């Protein structure tokens, strides 16, 4: 018999997550890892030279013509050419909110899994690259209560029926109101912060060409590794993208029926 | 922002609950708390509220709204005294009013510089600030109290302040004694008479004008600088200070007058001195935040809540936000420090967070097939097509890896790589595959059976001149490997994983053992036909906990006897094993196996 291969745990996690959101009517989409400043920041209501930029340390692409190393995040100093957007590695999957709605408008309901990059020192809970999964639901009547209900059901299906969520105030430039989402794990008697979310900022809808007077919606962004780390008890995020097969084999694996699968 | 409970108490008549209770109140209604240490809370103020909440007054105001405790008095609502005392002692000139929005300078004569009174020392120490002298401490205290950065200069030989851009190559020594060459165009505070730079505006003061024990006359600065200018300079000089952090968050220029009022009062109280003059250069008065209107129905439709008009009116009242109610519509005129409130959704957030998101009940989205509409199917099919190829490969024994996108060489180079040895983005998956395969070959005895060899694949984005592309890489050629194609129908395989079992990072040792057992004569303590399980049990029992993997290598029968060969892999979770200790273990295993056969 042929030896069985192993999928990467991130693949397994994304399939699990996509299936749950699929059952709630979410489609799936992909966006570019190499982004431009407009989609990654400006259109998401994160202006140049704003302290909100510090919330996501960015890898900038060197302009091959000038070859100089820009520092800081100033928009004006680093324009590559007149009218050309600076390139960067996307710091989040949120740029797909803009790209998707530019193309498909509203109403909409999608998730976007993908690799994102942060220029920050790595440790057991921080990696310079990790997978994020964006969620976006826009319609005439989508509310914060729907965000809460959707994420509560998602966490119950992903982590277990005895978990529950709570929302705390937060700030992201691209949502208003913004919240942090905590999940309660009864076994550990502990709340864990798992993701940021909020109601899509009207400027973001406008920037994507959606009528903000008619439509509103919610968005969230979760770290796929973080979810897998919590679910399976993985102690160090750096194990995921090390290319070490011992990581794949550190889990007992059972195929499950995929008949319920909708995404 | 470090906040002291005792300092907050100054704002309330009623005794505040303990720091843990305050932390909870803030956590669920305003800000995350990063740390609590005794009476000190480290409050994580995010950029939207950094203009008004990087100070005790801002946090007190929040707590007042959350706990519904009235403030004793609000320094930003108390009237300002007359502060425009023209005199020949000080001239202030702003070269570029776009970069220096306001500059208030006061001359105080005859101060006694000395240690701060105990209460002031204690207040600063409670938030981990070092006491320096009564003058510097007074300026710090007012900043931490109401958020206005302040600076004090020794006024000896200083009677004119010029706020100007730095010239090419201009140098200055800051208070710490370090010398900085500031980029051309950096906003500087200069001596208007000599032209000499005496401070980097909004960031750090200069050594020449440091307030020392010999100082008798002061110039006090309470100013407002353009946030972008300050932010760029702080980034360029890699010099982040309490002042620069506040200025980059656009504090209101109005605040400067309140800062000046409070610091002059405090210096008068603890260092004597007489205010000789106050100059207020305020070229263009900042516009007050515009009124924002929101109907109650909008608040409830954003939040999915059912808040009453009275509840929402009470929230605005508690937050000190003047609100006019007409019918069911609130029109809020934010005070000068709340410029963050500019759209109806901002007001919905205020109502939601103060009343509490626990009062927003969870609701499921109505059924919708938008996610399955035709226009979405292409993307959906792309996902399924990718997963199909992954499943195809795992069925053929390939294991999926994930590696870093950074590489030593490539077409796309980063301007600011984290690892200088890998400044590029990978143009293919080859290098990482080679590395991963070398490691997989080495660790194979730990995870694979002896007759298996590692086979790997990666599906990932690569970056080429033409753009990014999804690539598949396998560790060996695979005949019939399908291209990634859209597949709308494919259902990806699903797996249940058990809890992660940590693996050792230490080297492992492999030993093989083979022996004959008699198949029919029954002369073993275990009876005839000793099974594989019995032998494995015997090996495990005697090999001990360092045995991490045991596989049957080989079994064959010959002339009434059966030959067995096993592979044993030894590894420790916490150290490197020695050959000698594994040899000892193998001797014990051999002795045990000798009961059932002849070890070869």
CATH number at residue B22: 3.30.56.10
What pLDDT score was predicted for residue A128?
94
A185 Cβ under 8 Å from any chain B Cβ: no
Distance of CA B220 to the CA centre of its chain: 35
SS3 content of chain B, % helix, strand, coil (to 5): 30, 25, 40
Helix ranges (H only) for A124-248 are 144-159, 202-207, 224-232, 245-248
Distance to chain B for A49, nearest Cα, Å: 6
Mean pLDDT value of segment A202-207: 97
Contact at CB, B399 and A5, closer than 8 angstroms: yes
Helix-helix angle B19-29:B56-67, to 10 degrees: 80
Cβ–Cβ < 8 Å for B190, B159: no
Distance of CA A251 to the CA centre of its chain: 25
Quick check: is B80 in a domain?
A: no
CATH number where B441 lies? 3.30.930.10
Quick check: is B326 in a domain?
A: yes
A96 Cβ under 8 Å from any chain B Cβ: no
A33 Cβ under 8 Å from any chain B Cβ: yes
**Host domain of residue B212:** 91-281
> What's the rounded Cα separation, in Å, for the pair B490 and B99?
60
B516, B404: one domain: no
Token reading at B341: 């409130």
**DSSP 8-class letter at B18:** P
Distance to chain A for B555, nearest Cα, Å: 17
- Domains of chain A plus CATH, in order, are 9-31+91-248 (3.30.930.10)
Among B348, B358, B498, select the one facing A251 at the smallest CB separation. B498
Quick check: is B167 in a domain?
A: yes
Among A6, A28, A250, select the one facing B400 at the smallest CB separation. A6
Is the model's pLDDT at A70 over the cut of 50?
A: no
Question: At which of B474, B496, B526 does a domain end?
Answer: B474
B433, B535: one domain: no
- Quickly state the pLDDT bin for A258 (edges 50, 70, 90): low
Number of domains in chain B: 5
B461, B531: one domain: no
B114, B252: one domain: yes
Contacts of A89 in chain B (CB under 8 A): 405, 414, 425
A188 Cβ under 8 Å from any chain B Cβ: no
Question: At which of B281, B311, B326 does a domain end?
Answer: B281
What pLDDT score was predicted for residue A262?
47
B275, B206: one domain: yes
pLDDT string in tens for chain B (600-residue length)? 999 999 999 999 999 999 999 999 999 999 999 999 999 999 999 999 999 999 999 999 999 999 999 999 999 999 898 777 777 789 999 999 999 999 999 999 999 999 999 999 999 999 999 999 999 999 999 999 999 999 999 999 899 999 999 999 999 888 888 899 999 999 999 999 999 999 999 999 999 999 999 999 999 999 999 999 999 999 999 999 999 999 999 999 999 999 999 999 999 999 999 999 999 999 999 899 999 999 999 999 999 999 999 999 999 999 999 999 999 999 999 999 999 999 999 999 999 999 999 999 999 999 877 766 766 777 888 999 999 999 999 999 999 999 999 999 999 999 999 999 999 999 999 999 999 999 999 999 999 888 889 999 999 999 999 999 999 999 999 999 999 999 988 999 999 999 999 999 899 999 999 888 765 555 555 555 567 788 888 899 999 999 999 998 888 887 777 888 999 999 999 999 999 999 999 999 988 888 777 777
> What's the rounded Cα separation, in Å, for the pair B370 and B432?
40
* Closest chain B CA to residue A119: B418
Quick check: is B141 in a domain?
A: yes
ipTM score: 0.92
Distance to chain B for A255, nearest Cα, Å: 4
Q: A–B: how many Cβ contacts below 8 A?
A: 336
Quick check: is B493 in a domain?
A: no
B556, B460: one domain: no
Cβ–Cβ < 8 Å for B248, B174: no
A24-45 pLDDT, tens digit per residue, is: 999 999 999 999 999 999 999 9
Among A173, A180, A256, select the one facing B494 at the smallest CB separation. A256
In three state form, how does the secondary structure of B290-305 look? Answer: CCEEEEHHHHHHHHCC
pTM of the model: 0.91
Contacts of A139 in chain B (CB under 8 A): 368, 370
B436, B519: one domain: no
Contact at CB, A49 and B401, closer than 8 angstroms: no
Contact at CB, A144 and B501, closer than 8 angstroms: no
**For residue B242, what is the enclosing H or E element?**
helix B242-247
User: Can you tell me whether residue B466 is helix, strand or coil?
Assistant: coil
Quick check: is B385 in a domain?
A: no
B353, B235: one domain: no
Question: At which of B239, B261, B281 does a domain end?
Answer: B281
B125, B258: one domain: yes
SS3 content of chain A, % helix, strand, coil (to 5): 30, 30, 45
């Amino acid at each position: 018999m042929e030896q069985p291969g192993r999928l990467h745990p991130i693949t397994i996690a994304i399939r699990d997550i996509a299936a749950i959101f699929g059952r709630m009517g979410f489609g799936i989409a992909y966006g570019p890892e190499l982004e431009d400043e407009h989609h990654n920041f400006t259109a998401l209501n994160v202006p140049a030279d704003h302290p909100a930029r510090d919330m996501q340390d960015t890898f900038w692409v060197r302009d091959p013509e000038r070859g100089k190393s820009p520092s800081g995040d100033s928009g004006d100093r680093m324009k590559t050419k007149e009218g050309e957007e600076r390139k960067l590695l996307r710091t989040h999957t949120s740029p797909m909110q803009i790209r998707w709605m530019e193309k498909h408008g509203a109403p909409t309901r999608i998730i976007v899994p993908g690799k994102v990059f942060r220029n920050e020192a790595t440790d057991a809970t921080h990696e310079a690259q990790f997978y994020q999964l964006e969620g976006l639901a826009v319609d005439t009547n989508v509310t914060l209560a729907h965000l809460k209900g959707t994420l509560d059901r998602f966490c119950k299906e992903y982590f277990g029926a005895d978990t529950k969520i709570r929302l705390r105030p937060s700030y992201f430039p691209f949502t208003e109101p913004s919240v942090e989402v905590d999940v309660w794990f009864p076994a550990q008697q502990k709340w864990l912060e798992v993701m940021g979310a909020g109601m899509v900022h009207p400027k973001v809808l406008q920037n994507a060409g959606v009528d903000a007077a008619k439509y509103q919606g919610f968005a969230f962004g979760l770290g796929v590794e973080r979810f897998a780390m919590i679910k399976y008890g993985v102690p160090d995020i750096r194990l995921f993208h090390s290319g070490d097969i011992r990581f794949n084999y550190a889990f007992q694996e059972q195929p499950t029926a995929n008949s319920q699968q909708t995404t | 922002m470090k906040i002291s409970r005792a300092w907050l108490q100054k704002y309330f008549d009623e005794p505040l609950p303990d720091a843990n209770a305050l932390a909870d109140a803030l956590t669920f209604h305003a800000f995350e708390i990063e740390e609590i240490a005794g009476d000190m809370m480290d409050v994580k103020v995010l950029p939207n509220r950094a203009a008004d909440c990087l100070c005790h007054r801002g946090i007190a105001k929040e707590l007042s709204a959350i706990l519904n405790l009235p403030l004793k008095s609000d320094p930003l609502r108390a009237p300002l005294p007359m502060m425009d005392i023209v005199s020949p002692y000080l001239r202030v000139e702003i070269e570029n009013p776009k970069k220096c929005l306001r500059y208030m300078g006061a001359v105080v004569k005859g101060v006694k510089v000395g240690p701060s009174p105990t209460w002031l020392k204690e207040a600063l120490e409670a938030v981990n600030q070092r006491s320096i002298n009564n003058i510097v401490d007074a300026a710090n205290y007012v900043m931490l109290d109401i958020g206005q950065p302040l600076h004090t200069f020794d006024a000896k030989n200083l009677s004119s302040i010029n706020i100007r851009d730095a010239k090419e190559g201009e140098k200055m020594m800051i208070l710490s004694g370090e010398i900085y060459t500031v980029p051309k165009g950096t906003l500087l505070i200069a001596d208007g008479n000599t032209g000499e730079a005496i401070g980097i505006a909004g960031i750090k003061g200069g050594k020449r004008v440091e307030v020392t024990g010999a100082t008798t006359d002061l110039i006090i600065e309470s100013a407002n600088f353009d946030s972008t200018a300050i932010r760029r300079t702080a980034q360029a000089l890699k010099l982040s200070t309490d002042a620069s952090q506040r200025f980059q968050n656009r504090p209101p220029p109005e605040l400067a007058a309140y800062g000046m009022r409070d610091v002059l009062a405090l210096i008068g109280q603890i260092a004597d001195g007489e205010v000789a003059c106050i100059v207020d250069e305020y070229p263009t008065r900042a516009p007050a935040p515009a009124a924002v209107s929101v109907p109650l129905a909008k608040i409830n439709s954003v939040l999915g809540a059912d808040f009453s008009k009275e509840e929402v009116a009470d929230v605005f009242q508690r937050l000190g936000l003047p609100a006019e109610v007409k019918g069911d519509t609130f029109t809020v005129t934010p005070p000068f420090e709340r410029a963050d409130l500019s759209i109806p959704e901002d007001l919905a957030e205020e109502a939601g967070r103060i009343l509490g998101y626990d009062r927003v009940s969870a609701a499921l989205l109505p059924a919708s097939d938008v996610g399955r509409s035709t226009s979405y199917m292409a993307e959906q099919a792309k996902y399924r097509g990718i997963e199909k190829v992954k499943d195809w490969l795992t069925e053929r024994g390939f294991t999926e890896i994930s590696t870093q996108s950074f590489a030593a060489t490539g077409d796309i180079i980063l301007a600011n790589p984290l690892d200088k040895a890998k400044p590029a983005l990978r143009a293919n998956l080859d290098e990482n595959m080679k590395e991963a395969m070398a490691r997989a070959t080495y660790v194979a005895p730990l995870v694979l059976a002896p007759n298996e060899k590692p086979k790997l694949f990666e599906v990932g984005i690569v970056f080429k001149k033409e753009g990014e592309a999804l690539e598949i890489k396998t560790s060996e050629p695979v005949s019939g490997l399908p291209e990634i194609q859209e597949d709308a129908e494919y259902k990806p395989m699903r797996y249940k994983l058990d809890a992660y079992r940590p693996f050792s990072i230490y080297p492992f040792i492999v030993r093989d053992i083979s022996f004959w057992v008699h198949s029919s004569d029954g002369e073993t303590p275990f009876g005839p036909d000793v099974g594989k399980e019995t032998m494995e049990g015997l090996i495990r029992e005697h090999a001990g906990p360092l045995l991490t993997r045991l596989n049957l290598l080989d079994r064959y029968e010959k002339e009434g006897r059966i030959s067995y060969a096993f592979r044993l892999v030894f590894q420790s979770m916490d150290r490197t094993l020695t050959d000698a200790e594994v040899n000892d273990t193998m001797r014990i295993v051999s002795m045990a196996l000798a009961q059932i056969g002849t070890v070869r």
